[in-house]
Amino acid sequence: METVAQIPKYNLNEEQERKLILREYRSLLRSLKTKIKPGDKDLLRTAFEMAADAHKTMRRKSGEPYILHPLAVAKICVEEIGLGVRSTICALMHDTVEDTDITLEDVEKEFGNEIARIVDGLTKISNVIDVNASQQAENFKKILLTLTDDPRVILIKLADRLHNMRTLESMKREKQLKIASETVYVYAPLAHRMGLYNIKTEMEDLAMKYMEPDTYKEIAQKLAETKRERSKYINEFIKPIKEKLEKGNFNFEIYGRPKSIHSISNKMKKKGVDFEEVYDLFAIRVILDSPQEKEKEDCWKVYSMITDEYTPSPERLRDWLSNPKSNGYEALHTTVMGPQGKWVEVQIRTKRMNEIAEKGLAAHWKYKEGATDESGFDKWFQQIREVISSQETDSIDFLQDFKTSFLAEEIYVYTPKGDVKMLPIGSTALDFAFAIHSAIGVKTIGAKVNHKLVPLSHKLRSGDQIEIITSNKQKPSEDWLGFVVTAKAKGRIKDALKEEKKKIGDEGKYAVQRKLEGMGASMNPHNIDELVHWYKLPSHVDLFYQVAIKNIDLKDLKEFTVMGDRIEAPKPIRIFDPKPEYNPNHPGGSSKKDTELVIFGESSDKIVYNLANCCKPIPGDDVFGFITTGKGLTIHRTNCPNAAKLLANYGHRVVKTKWARNKEISFLTGLKIVGMDDVGVIHKITNLISGELKINISALSVEAKEGLFEGKIKVFVHDKDELEELLSSLKSLPGIESVERYDTGDIA
């Protein structure tokens, strides 16, 4: 993946600035050359001049003129996403309505309704940043509504986000963390879903550069160091295939490209291996120039030639020719055993498929003109429309549901009649029932998968054939929410439960009314609110429901005082009084202006903090502080499994945090060691830790089977440097296979 050249630190005079802006504008026009029709040039000029004039007094954080940002976004739209003139105008204007004196009416008068609508969509979603969580997810909902209205909105938004990521250097650290995590949480999966693989990988890599800088640098450096031997290997691998393809008279390109830093890091985490042990650091790509009617046939012929030369791994064949992904991706992937006993991934696709893989939705439209069948994209948009229009759920849930429903990989399953249904990975038989129809979902009592009876929570796999069994007596239950993943199923189940709750709650409502009237008070909103507050319930419906099912005893009301027709709850109102949220400006907090907290320094006794259990940070780790209700400040590592979600959803609660050296305090962390089960190996390990390095061991558990042992050790270290030294010393012991930091939840 290319690194993007940064504009040097800013020091241009007015004339140089003017030249730079014009140079960028001309470069944009050159990119659009093949798409410009008569009259377009004037429109583009007008858009550029309007935007340049509107933004003329504005600067970016780096100091450069603001207009360079819309120009860069427009260029990404054209060159990397494949959009045309109208989208370019929208990209140039995308910040004007929100940030300058230009109004939507001005845009409409100048460029017409279509462009005004897209700019309006972009304006609505540009304030996703720096608001509280529910507001942020609300805005995300707006993004999706606009997306289904005109997908260009989201494509321009992705270009905008990509440019922001490329120029994140000049932002403050907490802003960098927030924007990077939001990108990895929402925008990268969205880019993937729109079929923009290059943009998705670049976004993930850039996010990692800010969230896990050390790992990022380390992998980037190792990739650079191994580049020569990789190229040599790729050439050796390609040579015999090239000869075969030339003999077969194919018109083709073949090359190797490195995997992204983010995906290599993911492999290392998932498999618990070092960089050197990640076998597929690159993929070989074969791109054929074939006429559309012969594409499938040619791809399979090439597959056959490659697998004649190298043995394939049968479970690693991915056939997206017969069943393209719903984002339009078509290709054939296989993993084969190459020279020197190394596994190599090979991707086979045609020029058309390659363009769709790189330009996603925009290329998909280009090839769709004249086609009559409804594409995966259209179906996808339709599903989103359906879910958003019927959703009343809490917005944070909505964001989570959206990720699992619409941004996950898909599986293909079949109805009893053989119709194909596409569902997100992890879907259950119950999700399938709701995908067929909501009315079937709510009545489902069982399912048969491949003619065998299975529970409703049975996870489906690609190729399954499912038959749903229903009964008119069936009603959805609360536990259904625990095993459905699609937003449609979740939404419908919640609606049905609400309906049911309301019905049962009617009895409770009368009970409350009788009780209040018996006390001389009346059934008014104030009194109901007082009771909801007292019992700490989310709504009136919940209060009546809890009364109806006898979870709440109304005898408690004798403690209330009646004043006129109103009741007053006894003090304190709440049964459990949560601790107040941590406030950095409180006398007990840090005195620094920008609320940067120095943890474990001189002020450590003044700050209430907790170390997060999910990632067990120790001094030296990249961390951020997160304000938790009732717990004050919790410190998380930036590569914590929960970090992206916390930072993306609750950016306003993040506090900048750094470590101060304090050798007096030790921190508990865990190590997982795997090695050969050899006599005395445990003695060697404990001797090294306690004897040579003088580190305290808190606990040790070892399991040995079939010649291998796995040890989990809890140790007290002062900081990350000490931990790194311990890790490398242990790795160098004979017979030790792997040593890694072990910090998921409580250390076993």
Among 40, 53, 99, 108, the one annotated catalytic: 99
Q: How many CB atoms lie within 10 A of CB 610?
A: 12
Contact partners, residue 745, CB within 8 Å, separation at least 6: 613, 614
Which alpha helices (DSSP H) does 467-539 contain, by range? 487-518, 525-534
Measured distance CA(532)–CA(518) in Å, rounded: 19
Residue 11 C-beta-side C-alpha neighbours within 13 Å: 2
Residue located via tokens 């105008």: 89
Tokens of 327: 């984002």
Contact partners, residue 523, CB within 8 Å, separation at least 6: 512, 513, 516, 517
- Containing 262, the helix (H) or strand (E) segment is helix 261-271
Q: Answer whether 43's CB lies under 8 Å from 74's CB.
A: no
Q: Answer whether 100's CB lies under 8 Å from 54's CB.
A: yes
Total residues belonging to the chain: 748
Would you call 375 helix, strand, or coil by DSSP?
Answer: coil
Clarify whether 98 is annotated catalytic: yes
Q: How many CB atoms lie within 10 A of CB 663?
A: 9
Measured distance CA(25)–CA(15) in Å, rounded: 16
Measured distance CA(61)–CA(52) in Å, rounded: 17
Amino acid type, 182? E
Q: Answer whether 429's CB lies under 8 Å from 456's CB.
A: yes
Among 98, 225, 409, 507, the one annotated catalytic: 98
Q: How many CB atoms lie within 10 A of CB 499?
A: 12
Q: Which pairing describes strands 667-676 and 654-655: parallel, antiparallel, or unpaired?
A: unpaired
Residue located via tokens 């015999």: 240
Q: What is the DSSP string of 157-213?
A: HHHHHHHHHHTGGGS-HHHHHHHHHHIIIIIHHHHHHTT-HHHHHHHHHHHHHHHSH
**Can you give 389-421 as a three-state secondary structure string?**
HHCCCCHHHHHHHHHHHHCCCEEEEECCCCCEE
398: β partners = none
Clarify whether 99 is annotated catalytic: yes
Q: Answer whether 690's CB lies under 8 Å from 697's CB.
A: yes
Tokens of 19: 């030249």
Contact partners, residue 217, CB within 8 Å, separation at least 6: none
- CA-CA distances (angstroms) from residue 114 to 86, 107, 152, 284, 366? 9, 10, 11, 42, 19
Residue environment code for 691-721, b if the CB has 16+ CB neighbours within 10 A, otherwise e? eeeebeeeebeeeeeeeebbbbbbbebbbbe
Q: 3-state DSSP helix/strand/coil percent for the chain, to nearest 5?
A: 50, 15, 30
Q: Residue 258 — φ and ψ, nearest 5°?
A: -70, 150
Would you call 18 helix, strand, or coil by DSSP?
Answer: helix
Q: Answer whether 669's CB lies under 8 Å from 723's CB.
A: yes
Tokens of 675: 């090695």
Q: Answer whether 459's CB lies under 8 Å from 427's CB.
A: yes
| Span between the terminal Cα atoms of the chain, in Å | 39
Give the catalytic positions in this structure: 98-99
